[in-house]
């Protein structure tokens, strides 16, 4: 999913609401004695229930030295306090996670060595040595790669919040038929995406979407207008979903699989977004005290929507954001970098605070998201320093874990060795 790019926008489950959380954990001072020991087990749950959290004991970080203050733009990582983290060799990077992380890092390298880092932390040239080494590095010794070529950096106080997203599987049809009435729209030709940085240096990195009407740029149709027919008759329908509520949540994820009546599967991915504001309906339900105890999860919200169809329709339309799709025929789902995202390895981030393609180490108060991830995606609700959205793949277990994921803890970003010294020197 690319956050506003197949993004999944997973808009992810910021909307589902926080579960009760224990004290924050942080990065441990010493690596587990046997790095080949597998990470903690995944929690189990039926697909219509959120997974029960697997608790993780809090540990303390060893962050060295004074904070670096560059005086840069505080809306990006470069303007935050930065601290050099512990030696990576002392961190708990399990063998399997290291191998998956190295594979994802290698996939990201073509972009890392070319694209501008919006966080301001790195330059394309910083990644060249690591990427060249990664190309032929043996998977069996993947942890050693990160120890050799990376250094851990803490952005701000490192306090992290993580949610989860997945690739939904819902019933759908390529053609409209009885029981399949909810259109899945392709991106309309009149949806205009404007880079405001082309008009003012002060607006660099900011974009708006809309449509041209009588020579003026106006807001694009919102969810309510689209669901009431604003795009009908334009041959934009690429498929039809059976359940509008399940499709609503697939839009939040930004991609998914349609299980067709003939037993086939149609994969759809993010093609665009209408530019209207995202509203997390989980937060609205919590503010209304509408959710029963233990139901502050995607599964609990879906249950409420099915039990209250008319109120549910109005509630979903409060989220004016609407996602458009195309059919995926190759690898996927695709993340914001344009590469296939990897279950239990890809994490969505705010690219203003984490370089896209950079490894990230999470130590949270839930065991499931702990370990090494690679920033390969973005999300509409994933904003700010140390905000993460972990990708869990497809299927019942992925749905159960992602639907209830809400974890607090600590994060370290892995940057090429020498980056912190360069920033400290003001370069």
Q: Which residues of 229-262 are buried (b: 16+ CB within 10 A; e: fewer)?
A: eebeeeebbbbbbbbbbbbbbbbbbbbbbbbbee
Beta-sheet pairing, 387-394 with 159-167: parallel
Per-residue pLDDT in tens (0 to 9) along the chain, 427 residues: 444 344 444 433 333 333 333 333 333 333 333 343 344 444 444 456 656 656 665 444 556 667 888 777 888 999 999 999 999 999 989 999 999 999 999 999 999 999 999 999 999 999 999 999 999 999 999 999 999 999 999 999 999 999 999 999 999 999 999 999 999 999 999 999 999 989 998 888 788 999 999 999 999 999 999 999 999 999 999 999 999 999 999 998 888 999 999 999 999 999 999 999 999 999 999 999 998 888 888 889 999 999 999 999 999 999 999 999 999 988 778 899 999 999 999 999 999 999 999 999 999 999 999 999 999 999 878 999 999 999 999 888 998 999 889 999 999 999 999 999 999 998 7
What's the pLDDT score for residue 57? 54
List of residues 6+ apart from 215 with CB closer than 8 A? none
| CA-closest candidate to residue 118, choices 355, 338, 336 | 355
Any domain includes 383? no
Distance of CA 304 to the CA centre of its chain: 25
Helices and strands, counts by H and E, the chain: 10, 18
What's the pLDDT score for residue 66? 74
HSE-up (13 A, CA, CB side) for residue 332 = 23
List of residues 6+ apart from 45 with CB closer than 8 A? 51, 52, 397, 400, 401, 404
For residue 234, the enclosing domain spans 185-328
What's the pLDDT score for residue 332? 74
Any domain includes 239? yes
- 371, 95 Cβ separation under 8 angstroms: no
What's the pLDDT score for residue 395? 87
- 177, 108 Cβ separation under 8 angstroms: no
Distance in angstroms (rounded) separating the CA atoms of residues 105 and 407: 24
Any domain includes 121? no
Distance in angstroms (rounded) separating the CA atoms of residues 325 and 174: 13
What's the pLDDT score for residue 33? 33
Q: Which residues of 75-96 are buried (b: 16+ CB within 10 A; e: fewer)?
A: ebbbbbebbbbbebebbbbbbb
Using CA atoms, how far residue 24 sits from 7, 43, 62, 93, 406, in Å, is 28, 19, 15, 19, 12
Any domain includes 271? yes
Q: Following DSSP, what letter does each residue of 56-121 receive, concatenated? A: --------EEEEE-----TTSGGGS-EEE---GGGS---HHHHHHHHHHHHHHHHHHTTS--TTSS
pTM confidence score: 0.77
- 117, 419 Cβ separation under 8 angstroms: no
Any domain includes 235? yes
Any domain includes 23? no
What's the pLDDT score for residue 53? 58
Any domain includes 256? yes
Number of structural domains (the chain) is 1
Any domain includes 263? yes
CATH of the domain at 308: 2.40.240.50
Using CA atoms, how far residue 181 sits from 171, 240, 243, 305, 362, in Å, is 11, 6, 8, 18, 42
């Amino acid at each position: 999913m690319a956050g506003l790019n197949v993004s999944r926008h997973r808009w992810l489950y910021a909307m589902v609401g926080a579960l009760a959380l224990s004290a924050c954990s942080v990065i441990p001072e010493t690596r587990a004695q046997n790095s080949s020991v597998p990470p903690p087990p995944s929690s189990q749950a039926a697909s219509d229930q959120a997974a029960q959290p697997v608790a993780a004991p809090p540990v303390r970080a060893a962050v060295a030295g004074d904070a670096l203050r560059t005086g840069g733009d505080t809306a990006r990582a470069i303007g935050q306090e930065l601290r050099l983290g512990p030696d990576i060799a002392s961190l708990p990077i399990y063998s399997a996670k290291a191998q998956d992380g190295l594979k994802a890092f290698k996939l990201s390298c073509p972009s890392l060595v070319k694209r501008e880092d919006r966080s301001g932390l790195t330059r394309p040239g910083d990644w060249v040595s690591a990427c060249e080494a990664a190309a032929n590095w043996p998977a069996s010794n993947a942890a050693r790669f990160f120890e050799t070529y990376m250094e851990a950096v803490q952005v701000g106080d490192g306090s992290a919040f993580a949610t989860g997203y997945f690739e939904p599987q819902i019933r759908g049809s390529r053609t409209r038929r009885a029981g399949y009435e909810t259109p899945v729209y392709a991106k309309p030709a009149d949806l205009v995406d404007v880079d405001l940085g082309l008009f003012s240096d002060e607006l660099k990195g900011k974009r708006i979407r809309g449509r041209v009407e009588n020579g003026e740029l106006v807001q694009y149709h919102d969810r309510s207008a689209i669901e009431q027919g604003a795009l009908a008759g334009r041959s934009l329908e690429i498929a039809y979903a059976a359940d509008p509520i399940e499709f609503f949540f697939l839009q939040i994820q930004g991609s998914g699989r349609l299980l067709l009546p003939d037993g086939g599967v149609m994969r759809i991915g993010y093609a665009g977004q209408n530019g209207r504001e995202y509203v997390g309906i989980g937060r609205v339900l919590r503010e209304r005290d509408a959710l029963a105890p233990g139901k502050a999860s995607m599964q609990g919200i879906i249950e409420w929507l099915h039990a209250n169809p008319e109120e549910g329709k109005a509630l979903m339309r409060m989220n004016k954001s609407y996602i458009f799709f195309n059919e995926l025929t190759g690898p996927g789902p695709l993340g914001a970098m344009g590469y296939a995202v990897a279950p239990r390895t890809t994490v969505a981030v705010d690219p203003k605070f984490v370089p896209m393609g950079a490894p990230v180490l999470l130590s949270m108060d839930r065991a499931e998201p702990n370990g090494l991830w690679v920033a390969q995606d973005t999300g509409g609700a994933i904003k700010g320093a140390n905000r993460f959205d972990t990708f869990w793949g497809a299927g019942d277990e992925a749905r159960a874990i992602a639907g209830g994921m809400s974890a607090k803890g600590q994060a370290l970003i892995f940057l090429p060795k020498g980056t912190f010294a360069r920033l400290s020197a003001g370069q």
